[in-house]
Chain A
Amino acid sequence: MLRYSLKRALSLLISLAVASLVIFAVIEIAPGDPASFMLGVNAQPDTLAALRTELGLDQSKAERYVSWITGMLRGDFGTSYTYRTPVSQMIADRMWVSLPLALYALALSTAIAFPAGIYAASRRGKVGDLTVMSATQLGVAIPNFWFAMMLVLVFAINLRWFNAGGFSGWDKGLVAGLHSLTLPAIALALPQAAILARVMRSALLDILGEDFMRTARAKGLSRRQALWRHGLRNALIPVLTIIGLQFSFLLAGSIIIEQVFYLPGLGRLVFQSISSRDLIVVESVVMLLVFAVITVNFLVDLAYAAVDPRLRSRT
């Protein structure tokens, strides 16, 4: 187990190093200068030069890469060009929206997908299965931003149960906070739930055909008992993979949903920073997201090993 974990950890570090180079290179070659963006069309050349020096943009790209990386290793993400506040502070603030939103959506998606998937698998080929599967088909096909707009139309504009967007802030209480994240979480969760339910169903169906399931039935367990005691645990591996991927997606990919619900989250920060060429913020947030995705995958790898003891020795 230790050897396996160490190997995974090493590949995590290599991935991070490569990612940092790629991110820096890709973002730096995008045309556009943060200083001219800030000063606009009437800026005079000497004003621009003064600002570029102040922001450290007159240094070479290599120098800036090194100071970015070494800063990050010390936990210093630098200072935003446009906002002039520490990037780590900005990320921490936005995290308080994006992370709870991702977890909320993930909880919703699992809460819907597990029962739906198990139900469909146990009713294979019957009406219940067909109904659930058609519903998931629809869920996969519907774009989440469109679904988000429909939610707003019905629950915010017509029924007035929720605000059309915005975040109340956690200082207004947990309930108010969760309330303002509910519509975005549903919009994010439903398509994910549809995918997860389908994966859950097919994983269970694969397991049901396995020899050990027949043995379990032969020992006298009912179909349902065999499914709960032996099937579910074994079907969890593909499901865990998908959950890991989905969490990364929910954390990094909620840019559009954060725009539609004007939430002050990480996605919106990236969006704003890209258009104002606040390169240092974009680089740091993207790096952090990459770090989160790679770490989640690392944890999923470890979770595999916990679920399936064979993996520990195999690698």
Chain B
Amino acid sequence: MKRIVNRGLVSGLALSAALFAGAAWAKDDITIAMQLEPPHLDPTSAAAQAIDSVVYVNIFEGLTRFMGDGSIVPALAESWEISDDGTVYTFKLHEGVTFHDGSAMDAEDVKFSLDRARAEDSANAQKALFAGIDSVDVVDPLTVKVTLKEPNGNFLFNMAWGDAVIVAPESIENIKTAPVGTGPYTLGEWVQGDKIVLNRNPGYWGAEPALEQATFKFISDPTAAFAAMMAEDVDVFTGFPAPENLPQFEADPRFQVLVGSTEGETILSTNNKQPPFDNIKVRQAMAHAIDRQAIIDGAMFGYGTPIGTHFAPHNPAYVDLTGNSAYDPDKAKALLAEAGFPDGFETTLHLPPPSYARRGGEIIAAQLAAVGIKAEITNVEWAQWLETVFKGKNFGLTIVSHTEPMDIGIYARPDYYFQYDNPAFQELMTTLNSTTDPDKRTELMQQAQRMISDDYVNGYLFQLAALSVAKAGVQGLWANAPTAATDLSAISWSE
């Protein structure tokens, strides 16, 4: 579309003939569809997950990186040493790494990237990841020393985020449309509104990936997503938006369905400062009024894992606390009466666009109505949700999936939209952040999970499932989504 129609019929036919001929050789290209198009391609200045889904570990790499199983492994940093007091990280960088523009990636670039992210005028959407950094010093071209203000057990994890990738200083001006990274793929073409093409980077420092080219297509309508997959226009659909159609793909030998977990805790967020939700008995009553399995079956067609706290079930430190808020409408009614609402009360329920919220909301409203709580549903767009619910805190209830990994820390922020203000929890988080011993950390995280579960801060519903559909011959796709990513290097075709 960027180019104007100037070639005629003949070249069109020649081109399609060439395409047909190409299909006879081993397949080394792939078309991957997803719902949302990235607004631009700079993961360090926006929250949109769609950006990471295209560029993370394909175009851009960080010091460390996520693997498909959620583990953190070295990436541009070959190894590191941590000082005894846990405040100084000395990273040894890989030798011979170059950016896509041919310039060498060295300690200066690391210093530049980290300083840029934590600068005063930084537009980084996850600036908090870098808040603990006191200074970044270049020791030699392949060694960089990061000094923290205090020990941070999460530091290597933080450095794996897409918001912490290493960028080339000279590319910043045009990074949003012409990203220059160190990854195994370079940006080929971006036809806005339609597709992004990535090509294999011949100068990549690591192992050469199997695929020569990958095309990302953006299909937001669930029906269109189903049709595109069925007509085999696309090879893979990650984050498939129509769970009701998955059994059809499962039954079809041309396709495979991947069901994994995400970092998305889907919760019935409750405004803890708004009466009557400031009364713990009311929140507890709501927790017992909710039948999680009915919501998972009705809204997600059975895909999703029940949770009883704000923590991912696949995390080794997870504690199953669903029993704490088991479905018991009678108990809910009794608790409401105890709290002074024998006839229930009226409130609002704001539902953002995803189907987990819209469909789940209808079911929850019905379940709450059964114990006397009348929730008036308001459907909102994301921009509206951010304005009224998140920023304005003008809501009673809302349903949202919190997709950031390891985000239990939001409960330590009293001004966060659900307004949970518990000094004991805040202290617990401070202790956790400065603890580096793994066993001690696990214990603290479990304590935190129990505390918010016992306080019934929010209604804990289920962990959002990662749903993908792919052609049968595609292998190496991530089933789980520990972070938004499409790790192209791991993907290949069988046969």
Q: Which residues of A contact B (CB under 8 A)?
A: 30-34, 36-44, 46-47, 50-51, 54, 82-85, 90, 93-94, 96-97, 149, 152-153, 156-157, 160, 163-167, 169-177, 259-262, 264-265, 268-269, 272, 274-277
B9 & A175 in contact (Cβ 8 Å cutoff): yes
B227 & A50 in contact (Cβ 8 Å cutoff): no
Give the shortest distance, in Å, between A279 (CB) and chain B (any CB): 10
For B377-400 the 0/1 string (1 means CB < 8 A from A) is 000011110111011000000000
Partner of B13, one of A163, A170, A173: A173
A94, A153, A165, A260: which has the most chain B beta carbons within 10 Å? Answer: A165
- B interface SS class: loop
A43 & B231 in contact (Cβ 8 Å cutoff): no
A264 & B227 in contact (Cβ 8 Å cutoff): no
Binds A, one of B201-209, B217-225, B239-247, B455-463: B217-225
B13 & A50 in contact (Cβ 8 Å cutoff): no
B233 & A259 in contact (Cβ 8 Å cutoff): no
Point out the residues of chain B lying under 8 angstroms from A83, CB to CB.
Answer: 39-40, 176, 192
B1 & A42 in contact (Cβ 8 Å cutoff): no
Given A40-B125, A165-B227, residue A262 in contact with residue B381 (CB < 8 A): no
| CB under 8 Å from chain A, chain B span 1-55 | 1-5, 7-9, 11-13, 15-16, 37, 39-40, 46-48
In the complex, A293→B221 CA distance in Å?
Answer: 27
In the complex, A272→B219 CA distance in Å?
Answer: 12
B125 & A43 in contact (Cβ 8 Å cutoff): yes
In the complex, A205→B38 CA distance in Å?
Answer: 54
A262 & B386 in contact (Cβ 8 Å cutoff): no
In the complex, A172→B5 CA distance in Å?
Answer: 9
Given A160-B231, A262-B224, residue A46 in contact with residue B120 (CB < 8 A): yes
B383 & A175 in contact (Cβ 8 Å cutoff): no
What interface size band does chain B fall in?
A: 35 or more
B128 & A84 in contact (Cβ 8 Å cutoff): no
Q: Which residues of B contact A (CB under 8 A)?
A: 1-5, 7-9, 11-13, 15-16, 37, 39-40, 46-48, 120-128, 176-177, 191-195, 217-221, 223-224, 227-228, 230-231, 233, 353, 381-384, 386-388, 390-391, 404
Give the shortest distance, in Å, between A174 (CB) and chain B (any CB): 6
Point out the residues of chain B lying under 8 angstroms from A171, CB to CB.
Answer: 1, 3, 5, 7
Closest 4 CB pairs of A and B: A173-B12, A40-B47, A32-B383, A264-B193
In the complex, A169→B233 CA distance in Å?
Answer: 15
Given A84-B177, A165-B233, A166-B194, residue A43 in contact with residue B47 (CB < 8 A): yes
A33 & B386 in contact (Cβ 8 Å cutoff): yes
Point out the residues of chain A lying under 8 angstroms from B220, CB to CB.
Answer: 259, 262
A-B contact pairs, 21 of them (CB 8 A): A31-B383, A37-B386, A38-B125, A40-B47, A43-B127, A47-B124, A84-B176, A157-B227, A157-B231, A160-B231, A169-B1, A172-B12, A173-B7, A173-B12, A173-B15, A262-B194, A262-B217, A262-B228, A264-B192, A264-B194, A275-B353
